[in-house]
Chains A and B, each alone.
Chain A
Amino acid sequence: MEVGRLPISASQRGKLISAGYTTLASLSSLSPSDLARDLKIRESEALEILKVASHDCRLDQPEKSNGIFTGAQTAWEMLHEEQSFPRITTSCADLDNILGGGINCKEVTEIGGVPGIGKTQLGIQLAVNVQIPVDFGGLGGKAVYIDTEGSFMVERALQIAEASVVDMSHYNELLRKELRTCQVEIQPTDILKNIFYFRICSYTEQIALINHLDKFILEHKDVKIVIIDSVTFHFRQDFEDLALRTRLLGGMALKLMNLANKYNLAVVIFNQVTTKHKEGSFQLSLALGDSWSHCSTNRVILYWNGDERNAHIDKSPSLKSASAPFSVTRKGIRNSASNHKRIKLM
């Protein structure tokens, strides 16, 4: 019974079956109002069922695409695909909120900030969080971590991984009190094992690795995030020909975007900041120049607001410009502590 496999509530499933809708095909030509009348449910609910059914239907028959040429998708299909795919959480609820739920797959997200703001911490956190199993609302993927600055510390990654495992088992206890059998089987060392760590010592190596990534990910299909910490470092030493630098960076960005699309993975690029002379005063801006700023889908700037770390969405096609506080704790990236206090006081 095909309807039985649909991810809908049991009562909805019962109503469908009792009304005689057992196959996906029987649902495909229905309008929401017809279904609502037959099942005696609200129209919005019926629409939800049809959405789920049509999505499932498409997954069953991928060759029957209604695109103009192979590989093309309609915006409707893409929306479904995006919604069906979980986002990678940053472990900070406020930050997830402004990011629309976390770091999105198929997108290139650039994150920049001053030294000591927590860029590397966020990178390690994402490399750990991408591995949260599907049962816990994660992706259960693996991470590629490209370290150009030598700031990745195994002991810190282990610390964050341990905290993440503890959090997962807490979550388990809260949600599945009745199901004691479902234990967290993941170990902190397993998390480290699933981070593919590359240490890069020159810009030629960096370009070579990005070119090689396609092949690497083809062999490791479960890689769901590529983190580059930072893209900038080797490109800030003597480049006499700035046009060449722009071309190399542009080529690299294009490859990363293709990777993100082709393998349905998230690309997170860290950038440094520099000062820019603007209207008579010096201002902070992300490094690598104006042409580079077009190379990412989303741009997030991390900055200090008094004593608090803040993240600001600087550029994004789908997210509104917003700021949120976060903090770097022993456990990793978390909600800002002062925020907690405020809630407690209220």
Chain B
Amino acid sequence: MATKKSTTKFWRQGEPFVWGTALALTLVLCMTLLLFYVVLANGITVFWPKNVTLATLNNGGYALGEVVKDEENPGTGKKRFQFKIGNRDLYGLDFKWIDAEEITNFSTPPDIYVLERQENGNFYGSLKELKTPGLVLPVEKNESLQAALDSIEPQRLEVEKIDRQIAALNDKVEQNNNKLLKLRYKKEEHTAAAVALHEKVSTIKAEFEQLVVVLGSKQAIVAANEAVFVDANGQEKTIRLADIVRFYQPNSMSWVQKWSYYGKRLKELLFAEPRESNTEGGLFPAIFGTIMLIFMMSILSFPLGVLAGIYLREYAREGYLVKMVRIAVNNLAGIPSIVYGIFGLGFFVYGIGSQIDLLFFPEKLPTPTFGTGGILWASMTLGLLTVPVVIVATEEALGAIPPGIREGSQALAATKFQTLTRILLPMASPGILTGFILAMARAAGEVAPLMITGVVKLAPALPLDGSFPYLHLDRKFMHLGFHIYDIGFQSPNVEAAKPMVYVTTLLLILIVLIMTSTAIYLRNRMRERFSVADL
């Protein structure tokens, strides 16, 4: 009897339900944490200089590289190691599986060099000699490589400077050519203005030729400096010093040196351009593109969504039409993003973009200016995708304001508009911002619609730079989300790109996290200010 009573009580109080709710939340939490853990654990260790292991093989050979993974060979059931052996130019592959039974000995020789190169990935080996005509260097080997690199640094910087000058000249030629195109289009190619432009272009070209000659000679000087390295099996490889991005000797590095190396790599990641089809180097253009895209999307979708939400809640007369609109808006939020992408391509790029080209850039046709994907169209597409979220949030935030507040304001002789701007909008702002945060988070994670409206694997220039008119809305851009897809699944060397995939993912998550937490902080401050919880 007693047990029956207690079981009914158990069911009546809904104990299983409470457990169910807790379980559901735990599950969600675990999944999120797992995802974040995987990304964090893999992403954060990428730049840490790992020891380089020299494995002595029982066939008399050697293998040198970082041990990436050990596992049981699914074929034989025996243990095997995955080595990152680098030296792609020598072996063709950077990674190699070696069975444990083939290895007789592991060691970590202190004088092993790891070179990060402009091309062909890492090199693992030891230094044999330096061929540095014209450089006076200290005798000791290790220092001498650093010294050699240091002493060609000024020339290298000069080469870069000339490169930039050439790029600037190219820019000028491009601009003048555009002007010429315009004149030709207007059939004014024989006027004085056109002749002057032609002259200008030819002087620039002369300057250009000169610079190219200077560049060639400087490059030759830099390129003459080489170092000879040997791999684990004694194979020699001559590497030009100019091709070495940096080198390190992980087996003899102290903690401080390792941390400073880590810092350098982090700096490179955040501020440098990518190298080697995006699998090495920095992510700056992609970070810049992502943030700029989100900003532009916000500028476009936020006012539109808020205004539409205000109309729907405050001015539209309740009825079937408004109900239909509301349903339509809610459904818009559920349309697959690729559909938005296709719409963006069809309507913005091919529709509006090509009209803009016809009107403003007819001289460049058939080369499109706005009639092809670009950051403007991509942000408009994303804006369209996020606008329903903002509308719904605005409507709900306005609807949640107690009616007494509106009446109070209007009873004090305020018009509807004054009530809206002075009371309702400030009060609704936390809710509107919440919607905005959701919209931003969604936009930051979208890749599919961008792929057809302007994202590229490698953009030659940023959409915002120092050359007139500074903001280039027609330019294509890079994006972290697309970057992940590109290097993770489109790269010819997937294994080598893997660390970068984790790093990029981590970075994207961090950017979204920073942007949304800033917005959440702002919202909470507003909430404190405009709360009417005690009414």
Q: Are A and B interaction partners?
A: no
User: Residues on B close to A: CB < 8 A?
Assistant: none
